[in-house]
């Protein structure tokens, strides 16, 4: 039997946020890790510094010598490295199955949901770290407290973000699950909301009878599934009908404080657990903190560790990340990953609760399929913004779809909103237009899952004194 140092794992698309975290944990466990990606990035440079051998570009010669080839759902069937692995009869393992291997022999906690997974996963990691549990963590975003998007812990827990986009989260042998919400995303894979709900029913069905799923009762998709789940479920939300709920929510700038009440089982009395303070804005983040609290109470952690862990939580890159703040001129630039209508509406609600002045939103639609399937949701997502600039669609590896364009989406949004909506095309044009428009008292909110993060950074440099 090979030892870890002799076992060679090759990751195709290693620079992806989901792949890189798994690669890092295996690297830190002593495995030999190689990988390839189409371009060099901060992520690939970090992995190289940790000892991985990274090739830029996908080439068949990258594969020989590997004992296992790991691929994500983003890798096409005609990828040259995938074909080489098949020709050499090297096992090809989906990313989610490899994440499942990390959970074997451990107590797995899988954080699922259409939105809020990354924040909730990193919040839970902070609380469990505060409790001294030292979990292994794999998350879909860069967390400053982790120094990246993964950490190899010495404890018995693995906390992982579970990707539902292609149904692969059903590979995870978790004991505890979280479902933040169930929304109509990734319709290119599922086809309709009923199939998405079926997948989440299957996710809970995979949990053991002694586990639990913490689910958000505020979410309509979750409520539709409640009667279908046959494994233990604990609910959370903003009213007393749920097992854990928050009240007296007080926005305080970029922070929020609130009280949490909980009960051991439906039908029993709630008791006040205490007050929580988090350093991220918005009702959606209150719900994320409630999900974490629900799991922590199931694990019998002291509530004080929940308070401490959530108070210490400093956020995730590109989740309402303040890139520039000028208190003298009252101007701020925020970068956010939100790219689905629900995420956009939640982020704008948080922005409106925090910022008293004008909000200028720059949105880069992400993928043609999402722009098509979520078209109607986008129409009402921007109503809390004063001005919206829409760039060209970021393809994310997809081919264009006839009639699905950013200019058409702009025209449709403009018909139904009081905000001024402009199509600006390329990011360079968006930058020039934003610099023309921004004035004292403005928030500039850059939204999208593609290359728009570079625009937020560039705007911050341009307007800094």
Q: Which residue is catalytic, options 161, 164, 321, 343? A: 161
Annotated active-site residue 247? The verdict is no
Annotated active-site residue 121? The verdict is no
197 CB burial (10 A radius; 0-12, 13-18, 19+): middle
Taking residue 417's Cβ as centre, other Cβ atoms within 10 Å add up to: 17
Annotated active-site residue 231? The verdict is no
5 CB burial (10 A radius; 0-12, 13-18, 19+): exposed
**Per-residue buried b or exposed e for 280-316, using 16+ beta carbons within 10 Å of the residue's own CB:** bbbbbbbbbbbbbbbbbbbbebebebbbbbbbebebb
Answer whether 351's CB lies under 8 Å from 381's CB.
no
Q: Which residue is catalytic, options 34, 118, 294, 305? A: 118
Q: Is residue 57 left, alpha or beta, with left meaning phi > 0 and alpha meaning psi from -120 to 50?
A: left
Taking residue 209's Cβ as centre, other Cβ atoms within 10 Å add up to: 7
Chain centroid to Cα 83, Å, comes to: 30
Say whether 417 sits in a helix, a strand or coil: coil
Q: φ, ψ for residue 186 (rounded to 5)?
A: 60, 40
DSSP H or E stretch at residue 34: strand 32-37
Distance CA 41, CA 293 (A): 35
Residue of 81, 65, 75, 77 whose CA lies nearest to 32:
65
| DSSP secondary structure of 369-394 | HHHHHTHHHHHHHTTT-SEEEEEPPB
Taking residue 266's Cβ as centre, other Cβ atoms within 10 Å add up to: 11
Residue 316 DSSP class: B
- Token reading at 87: 């020709």
The number of CA neighbours under 13 Å toward the Cβ of 408 is: 11
* DSSP strand pairing (271-278 vs 255-262): antiparallel
Q: Which residue is catalytic, options 106, 117, 151, 283? A: 117
Residue 14 DSSP class: T
Secondary-structure breakdown of the chain: helix, strand, coil percentages, each rounded to the nearest 5: 35, 25, 35
Question: Which residues are designated catalytic?
Answer: 117-118, 161
């Amino acid at each position: 039997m090979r030892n870890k140092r002799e076992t060679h794992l090759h990751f195709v698309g290693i620079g992806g946020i989901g792949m890189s975290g798994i690669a890092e944990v295996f690297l830190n466990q002593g495995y030999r890790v190689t990988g390839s990606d189409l371009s060099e990035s901060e992520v690939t440079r970090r992995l190289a510094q940790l000892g991985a051998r990274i090739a830029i570009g996908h080439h068949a010669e990258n594969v020989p010598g590997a004992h296992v080839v790991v691929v994500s759902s983003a890798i096409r069937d005609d990828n040259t490295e995938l074909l080489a692995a098949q020709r050499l009869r090297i096992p090809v393992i989906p990313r989610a199955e490899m994440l499942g291997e990390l959970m074997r022999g451990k107590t797995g906690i899988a954080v699922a949901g259409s939105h809020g997974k990354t924040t909730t996963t990193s919040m839970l990691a902070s609380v469990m770290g505060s409790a001294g549990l030292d979990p292994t963590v794999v998350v879909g975003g860069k967390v400053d407290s982790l120094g990246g998007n993964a950490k190899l812990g010495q404890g018995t827990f693995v906390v992982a973000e579970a990707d539902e986009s292609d149904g692969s989260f059903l590979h995870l042998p978790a004991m505890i699950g979280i479902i933040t919400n169930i929304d109509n995303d990734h319709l290119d894979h599922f086809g309709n909301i009923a199939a998405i709900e079926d997948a989440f029913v299957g996710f809970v069905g995979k949990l053991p009878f002694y586990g639990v799923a913490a689910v958000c009762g505020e979410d309509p998709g979750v409520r539709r599934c409640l009667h279908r789940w046959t494994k233990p479920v604990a609910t959370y939300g903003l009213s007393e009908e749920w097992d854990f709920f928050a009240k007296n929510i007080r926005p305080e700038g970029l922070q929020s404080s609130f009280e949490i009440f909980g009960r051991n089982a439906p039908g029993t009395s709630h008791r006040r657990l205490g007050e929580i303070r988090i350093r991220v804005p918005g009702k959606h983040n209150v719900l994320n903190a409630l999900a974490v609290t629900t799991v922590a109470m199931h694990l019998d952690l002291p509530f004080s560790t929940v308070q401490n862990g959530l108070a210490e939580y400093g956020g995730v890159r590109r989740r309402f990340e303040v890139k520039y703040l000028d208190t003298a001129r009252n101007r701020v630039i925020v970068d956010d990953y939100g790219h689905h209508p629900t995420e956009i509406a939640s982020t704008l609600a948080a922005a409106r609760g925090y910022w008293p002045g004008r909000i200028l939103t720059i949105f880069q639609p992400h993928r043609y399929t999402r722009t098509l399937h979520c078209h109607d949701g986008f129409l009402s997502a921007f109503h809390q913004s004063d001005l919206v600039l829409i760039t060209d669609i970021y393809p994310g590896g997809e081919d264009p779809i006839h009639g699905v364009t950013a200019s058409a989406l702009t025209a449709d949004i403009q018909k139904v909103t009081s905000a001024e909506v402009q199509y600006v095309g390329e990011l360079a044009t968006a930058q020039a237009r934003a610099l023309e428009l921004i004035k004292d008292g403005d928030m500039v909110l850059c939204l999208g899952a593609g290359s728009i993060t570079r625009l937020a950074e560039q705007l911050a440099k341009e307007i800094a004194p």
